[in-house]
Amino acid sequence: MKNRLGQFLIVAVVFAFMAAGTAMAADTIKLGVAGPHSGDLASYGIPTIKAAELVVKDINAKGGVLGRQVELLVEDDVCKPEVATNTATKLVSEGVHVVLGHICSGATKAALGIYKDSNIPVMSPSATNPALTQSGDYPNFFRTIASDDAQARLEVDFALDVLKLKKIAVLHDKGDYGKGLAEFAKAFLEKDPRAEVVFYEGITPGAVDYSAVVQKIKKSGAEAVIFGGYHPEASKIVTQMRKKRMDTIFISDDGVKDDTFIKVAQKYAEGVYATGPKDVSSNPMAIAANEAHKKAYGADPGAFYLNAYSAAIALLNAIEQAGSTDYAAVTNALRTKDVETPLGKIRFDDRGDAIGVGFSMYQVKDGAYVELK
């Protein structure tokens, strides 16, 4: 028995060295990509992989970063916090230098602690939870999307300044994103004397109908509804409101600024307001990025594609600027050096939010979202 134990230990030690060896021998720059790549939220995560692939192919063709080739390490986190920690430790143990991801705010929060302890900068194209940057807990976190409170601010300002509304109902879908946004909207409205929140409630996503809530909104006498959530629920609510012959104004968020919303709600979608990332369709880099995607994959890019594209460029550019993969140098470069991206020229503030990335208000007109200036 003893003999066998000895053999086993030898094998074990050899394995350990091999594992350590592979980590040290590599001299590529390792870019981790994490997000949901399977499951029901996969459609939010996969475009990020494609963006990263295209950026890396482009940069490697031009000689890489600091003369080293960039290697992609792609890991699935299915948007679940507990899986995200596994994903993060896997990326860390594989020796990534920077990470593009994660996609969902919850998974991002869970994973960030692990990256922080290992001094790895992380940049998300999509995690909009305000606490990620505002709590100050995650100095290693950056993002190329504006946070929820910025969106809520825009919605409230639009309702008060442009539409001059007095009575507003705030509704959310009880989810991380929707409820967070609604809470901000409610707080902003309550601070402002011009309007009052006549109604604040959460609906159950996936329910077969929302007639009771719609009835209640009607009874509350609200002139407008600010909704935090995604398009499947939004289209049901709008349809039900219009069928009940209510002309209550509907203002919502990025989760609703999706063409599917218009396709589902059809004629009832007309006039609905939704915030969304600033229109960058005239930015030449954005045009090029979209073209590259079409050429490589034969389809239009999906959700957060341009944010992810920009994040990948920003991360790799920061390493180039810093001259090493050293944590302090890279984060410093991210904060101080401007970089040209499809989202425009960006740089990051002390908290990690991108300066120059923001939201605009859109409205459905003749079956399409139109940016309001």
Partner 1 sequence: MWIEIETPMLANELKKSFLASLWFMFLTFPIMVIRVNTVEKIIQWRWANLFFVGIGSFILSALWRYLIRRKEQGIHRTEVDGIARVTLSQRLLGDRRFTIPALIITTIAALVFPFVFSIYQTNIMITALIYVMLGLGLNIVVGLAGLLDLGYVAFYAVGAYSYALLNYHFGLGFWTVLGIGGGLAAMFGIILGFPVLRLRGDYLAIVTLGFGEIIRLILENWNAFSFGPSGIANIPRPGLFGIDLDIEQATIYVYFLMIAMTLFTIFVVNRLQNSRIGRAWIALREDEVACQSMGIDKRKTKLMAFALGATWAGFAGVVFAAKTTFINPASFTIWESINVLCVVVLGGMGSIVGVIVGAFILILLPEYLRFLSEYRMLAFGTVLVMMMVFRPGGIVETVRRTYQYKETDH
Partner 2 sequence: MDYFFELFLGGLTRGSIYALIALGYTMVYGIVQLINFAHGEIYMIGAFTALIVISVLTMLGWNQIAILLIAAGAAVVYSSAYGYTMEKIAYKPLRQAPRLSALISAIGMSLFLQNYVLLAQTSDFLPFPALIPDFEFMEPIAHIIGSPELVILITTTIVMVLLTFLIKFTKIGKAMRATAQDRDMAQLVGVDVNRVISVTFIIGSATAAIGGVLIASHIGQINFYIGFIAGIKAFVAAVLGGIGSIPGAVLGSLVLGWTESFFTGYISSDYEDVFAFVFLVLILIFRPAGILGRSTSEKV
Query: Which residues would be at the binding site for partner 1 (CB under 8 A)?
Result: 1, 5, 8-9, 12, 15-16, 19, 37-39, 42, 76, 80-82, 85-86, 89-90, 92-94, 105-106, 109-110, 113-114, 117-118, 129, 131, 135, 137, 174-176, 179-180, 183, 202, 259-260, 263
90 binds, among partner 2, partner 1, none (CB under 5 to 8 A by kind): partner 1
Q: Is the dihedral of CA 6, 7, 8, 11 positive or negative?
A: positive
Q: How many CA atoms lie within 13 A of 103 on its CB side?
A: 27
203 binds, among partner 2, partner 1, none (CB under 5 to 8 A by kind): partner 2
Closest CA to 257 of 243, 276, 242: 276
Q: 23: which 2 tokens?
A: 């980590």
Q: How far is the CB of 161 from partner 1 (least distance, A)?
A: 28
Q: How far is the CB of 361 from partner 1 (least distance, A)?
A: 23
Contacts of residue 180, defined as CB under 8 A and 6 or more positions apart, other chains included, come to 105, 129, 130, 148, 228
Q: How far is the CB of 265 from partner 2 (least distance, A)?
A: 7
One-letter amino acid identity for 161?
D
Q: How far is the CB of 330 from partner 1 (least distance, A)?
A: 19
Q: Which residues bind partner 2 (CB under 8 A)?
A: 39-43, 174, 201-204, 206-209, 211-213, 215-216, 219, 231-232, 235-236, 239, 243-245, 260, 263-266
Q: How far is the CB of 207 from partner 2 (least distance, A)?
A: 8
43 binds, among partner 1, partner 2, none (CB under 5 to 8 A by kind): partner 2
> In terms of CB distance, is 104 or 313 closer to partner 1?
104
Give 161's DSSP letter. I
Q: How far is the CB of 11 from partner 2 (least distance, A)?
A: 38
> In terms of CB distance, is 110 or 308 closer to partner 1?
110
Q: Tell the burial category of 4 from Cβ atoms under 10 Å away from its Cβ (0-12, 13-18, 19+).
A: exposed
> In terms of CB distance, is 41 or 318 closer to partner 1?
41
18 binds, among partner 1, partner 2, none (CB under 5 to 8 A by kind): none
Q: Could you give the CA distance from residue 92 to residue 345 in angstroms, rounded to a whole number?
A: 30
Q: How does strand 368-372 pair with strand 359-365?
A: antiparallel
Q: Tell the burial category of 347 from Cβ atoms under 10 Å away from its Cβ (0-12, 13-18, 19+).
A: middle
Q: Could you give the CA distance from residue 351 to residue 134 in angstroms, rounded to a whole number?
A: 6
Give 29's DSSP letter. E
254 Cα distance to chain centroid: 10
> In terms of CB distance, is 160 or 246 closer to partner 2?
246
Q: How does strand 70-76 pair with strand 224-228?
A: unpaired
> In terms of CB distance, is 167 or 174 closer to partner 2?
174
Closest CA to 314 of 339, 278, 332, 351: 339
> In terms of CB distance, is 194 or 263 closer to partner 1?
263
Backbone angles phi, psi at 41, to 5 degrees: -105, 10
Q: How far is the CB of 92 from partner 1 (least distance, A)?
A: 7
> In terms of CB distance, is 23 or 328 closer to partner 1?
23
341 binds, among partner 2, partner 1, none (CB under 5 to 8 A by kind): none
106 binds, among partner 2, partner 1, none (CB under 5 to 8 A by kind): partner 1
Q: What ranges make up the beta strands (E) of 53-189? A: 70-76, 98-100, 122-124, 141-143, 167-172
Q: Could you give the CA distance from residue 293 to residue 296 in angstroms, rounded to a whole number?
A: 5
69 binds, among partner 1, partner 2, none (CB under 5 to 8 A by kind): none
Q: How far is the CB of 49 from partner 2 (least distance, A)?
A: 16
> In terms of CB distance, is 263 or 294 closer to partner 1?
263
174: how many CB neighbours lie within 10 A of its CB? 14
> In terms of CB distance, is 94 or 196 closer to partner 1?
94
